[in-house]
Amino acid sequence: MAQAAASLAVARALSSGVGWSNTGRCPPFARQVHGVLPMKWNPLHNDRWLLVVFLALVSGCGGDESSPWPLAIAPSEQIEQQLRESYARLSGPDTGEAAIVADLQAADAVTQDLYDPGTRTAACEELYGRWSRVPTSPLWSEVAVRRARRVACADSLFAIFDSPACTDTTTAIGAYMRAWQPPTVANLVHYFQLAHELPRPPDAFFSFWIEFRFAYAARLARSPELAIDRCLALMPEARKLGGRKLESLLWTEIARASVGRGELDDALHAVVIADTLATIAMPKNGALVGVLTIRRLRADILAARRDVTEAFALYEVNVRDANRLGLNFIAGNNFNRAGALAEATGKTRLALEFDRRGLALALADLDSFSAPAHMMNIGRGFRLMGELDSCLVYQTRAERWVEAYPDPENVARLPLMQAEYYAQIGAYDVVDSLLEAAAQLQEAHDTVEARAEFHLELIHGWMEVGRPELVYRSIEEISDLRSGIGDMYADRHVVADLNLRVGEFLTRRGEYALAAESLDLAGAALATRSNPEKEWVLSRDRGLLDRARDNPRGAEKWFLDCIHISEKLGYPDRSATARLLLGAVRLDMGDFEGARESFPDEELESSFSTRVLALLLTGVSYLREGNPVVALEYLDEARDACRSWTPLDLIGRVELETGRAHALAGDAATALQYFEAVASRIRDADFLSGDTEELAYFTGDLRRDLVEAHLGVEPVDARESLEFAMELLPRWKPVDGELIAPQVIYFVGEDLTGRWIAGSDGLDFARLPGSSELVALLTPVRADMSVPGRAINANDVTRLSSTLLGAVGESWQAAETLHIVPDLALFGIPWAALTLPGNGQMLVQHGPLVILDRPSGEAVPARSMGDHLLVIAADGGGSAGLKRLRHAEDEGGEVAAAWATGEVDLRFGAAASSVLVPGSDLSSYRAIHVASHALVYSGRAEQTTLLLADEGESSTTVSRIRDLEISAELVFLSACEAGDGGETKSAHAGLARSFQDAGARQVIAPISVIDDQAARRIAVGFYENWRRGVTVAEALRVAQLAQLESESGHPFYWAFYQVFGGNVQTDPER
């Protein structure tokens, strides 16, 4: 023990010299990681105990002199006793039986030789010889199965499974062997559990191994607590039979199970002792493969803990040691893990570099399986970065390798990987042919399922990379396949899976009716063939849908159903999740006591994050109940429970609610300190996603909730509060200099709305009602103005105008341009038809209006351009099933005539669809006018589509528009919208914004259904006035006033047109 203590002291001393942080926080990762020790140090060439020291360091946490552990964190009581015993035994002799220890070392040696092409043939022969002599050996059967791809004599080797002793599943031996044929999760769980229950031969090692694999099966079956308890109970027997080597395998399993529980501190302790034991147990010049496997797990745990720098360093060390031994496959595997970590932390270029280094190793190893797989991964990396030419280069290289070395798995995988590329560029005819090619490689009855599963994976990928328009395309493809999809295998449930995934996506997008339809289809599939785990997911998703639909009673019912299913399955972690969801919805209902009774307590097995969430939500319940003192007790406990690897979204939420509690208690200064701490995390965080699973229990967005909480603290400084909001809200940005005046800026929160008015005499702030009250005020006004001929309720207009505009008239002089920055539902207001408080004059009568998507500074100069107009007009509704427009092409002709002296490029009918495509030269146009249908669906802003021809494939979506290169001063969208009756305002704003993102200075667009004859009059009147040299906003105002004073003066015909973006000065030359 003295020797172990001495080595521990050395480890602590060294920890201060290699850059590890004792706080668990890591410095930014440098692009060139050379490992954690000086480059001349090689742990394999030095004293064994120094190697132990090295391994104890790569943890991200240094110990202190008073701690009995090599880490600064303490283990849980569950593992502490056995952990102490393992450390205490380090200085003593190894106690394992010589024969068993020799077999374990031989298994590592054979495994390592199988990885080396130079020794693989001899290793196969040795493996066959050892296993054939003892067919019932669990050790050699596992080596064969786990390294099957590298076994040259696979046919003769796996014939051993057919021996009588291995096929009788009424015995423990037979059940154990059956678990590996094939080694699916379902097989492993079922047959390992069966082997555990059946009689066993009088072989102590075999009996131990069955118990060990029973613990493994428990982890696979999502019972990590049971797995840990079984491994701890087996520890004394492991030391007796296999010594340190077998003991290290148990600690490795405990580490994996602890990860499953979310107990990353215990996971790190377990993997550190496993690493130490395996290293000490390794004979001189022995196989390092087992140690490298544990070290890779150790790096994975560091990555999960957010100890990113340490994880990268350990991956690099593993690569170096694997390379020294010629284990290129293991080195490549570490590069893959490092690449995944780099990608997850937003370091996409670094991830690509790791993938390239992995490819170099595979090529050096002549690994015909791994090389094309690495090429496909590199191609995927380029695709995710948008570098599609480079993506195609690597896809082509992979294709050539697969043709030369047609490994069946790669042959089947390649067309699916290629299809992802062609789906990205929108070449769906090529995607279809690739899917056909992939389908031909499978059984005929699997073809429809293969397509559905492919699109299911695409849906997940597009959701992750923010490409909803491609999600919709895959959903449409799946809809066409639904009638032919069946579930042919017991471990697959494609129908339920695809409908659950589609339902989840549609719920996020706000398409609740379609989401409910998909979830009903999933329910019907599960009614035909039950699957309790998927039924739990279905109940959860139905609960989340009802919560999104503001039906808390329905959500409560489904979450109670989740609890019942999870308790029936014996899955405490799922029960804890369901209890959190139930408590959250009861919070929504104001049932604070019921919410607290729902939250999981410490006795219920659950993940670490779940326990933190339970404390957080309990604190929130007291906060909403008006009891900040008790709320702070729970919130402080939740904050103390957070670790360095706790999701930053969750830490931020704890700090935000703590700040709110201090504000409610009257301590404004402390509240603001907490709000600033959250803001700092948001500014600095690499990991903050805003949509993590942990935050699914909150209906708000962390950034927006933080801004709202900040505005709720008295007193409010107008300038400081606006700067705080501009820094945090995604599309808002800090403004250099003064705000352009007059300008009115809105931020809509759940409980309060902030309004800033920028005038010539400064900036004023006022609090307005929250979102629900504002929506209640604007809904009747919008409804009256959206129906031609309907009487307008003047009182409703006055109430809405007074609430929103207040003292705007004091800062806005007649004929000046008023800049408005709406938020959320306020984008749907026909601002021009509101009245100015105090005089009752419509805003359009007082002066021009410009709608901005964020606060803006001084006006920018107009561009000096030619006088070239592009007119695109299409009357057809085509395959979308819409009526043909009556005046779109007439409007195009009249707009061209109104342009008078300038150059005009007219594109009508079929020619209209060939202009707004990526790669088109649009740089010479001063203005672009589009008259066509716009197809909009509720909740689908990204799917808003301009229909520029009769064929559906000519549709121009928001994402396609963003890829254009436009230099125009103005894009005028005279687009008659046809939708499903839902709210479409955000979609129109998104369509206008997409042209701005492509380079247009300003965009005119309607935010609702328009009459195409009135649209023609507005457009022609606008251009006649704009050509006289006035601003875009003033030209639109004059056209709107003319319509107001005509026989069709109802706001329906003119008020929904708006100028979006760009406080652009008039070009004096015009």
What pLDDT does residue 427 have? 64
What b/e sequence results for 922-953 when a residue is b if at least 16 CB atoms lie within 10 Å of its CB, and e otherwise? beebbbbbbbbbbbbbbbbbbbbbbbbbbeee
pLDDT at 366: 77
Tokens of 689: 């996603």
Q: Check residue 1000 and report its DSSP letter.
A: -
Q: With beta carbons less than 8 A apart as the criterion, state whether 892 and 927 touch.
A: no
Residue 185: strand, helix, or coil? helix
Provide the b/e sequence for 483-510 (b: ≥16 CB within 10 Å): eebebeeeeebbbbbbbbbbbbbbbbbb
- Say how far apart CA 207 and CA 211 lie, in whole Å: 6
Cis peptide before 742 (omega within 30 of 0): yes
What is the reported pLDDT for 480?
Answer: 60
**Cβ distance 1054 to 1011 under 8 Å?**
no
Matching residue, tokens 């296993």: 131
338-366 pLDDT per residue, tens: 988 887 776 778 888 898 998 988 888 77
DSSP 160: G
- Start-to-end C-alpha separation, the chain: 90
Cα gap 822→852, rounded to integer Å: 7
Confidence (pLDDT) at 312 = 92
pLDDT for the residue 510: 74
Helix (H) or strand (E) holding 1003: strand 1002-1006
What is the mean pLDDT of each successive set of 10 residues along the chain, which is 1070 residues long?
A: 36 28 24 24 34 39 54 86 92 90 91 83 84 83 72 63 78 87 80 89 91 92 88 96 95 92 88 94 88 93 85 92 87 88 78 89 81 84 78 88 80 75 66 60 44 60 52 64 44 67 77 86 82 88 91 95 89 84 92 92 65 90 95 94 78 94 95 94 61 55 92 92 91 84 94 94 94 94 92 95 92 92 91 92 95 82 73 65 61 85 80 73 88 62 62 59 85 63 44 84 87 86 91 95 92 93 54
Please say whether the beta carbons of 651 and 706 come within 8 A. no
Return the pLDDT at 468. 59
Q: Is 943:472 a contact under the CB 8 Å cutoff?
A: yes
Of 950, 949, 912, 944, residue with least CA distance to 928: 912
Tokens read off for 954: 């000519």
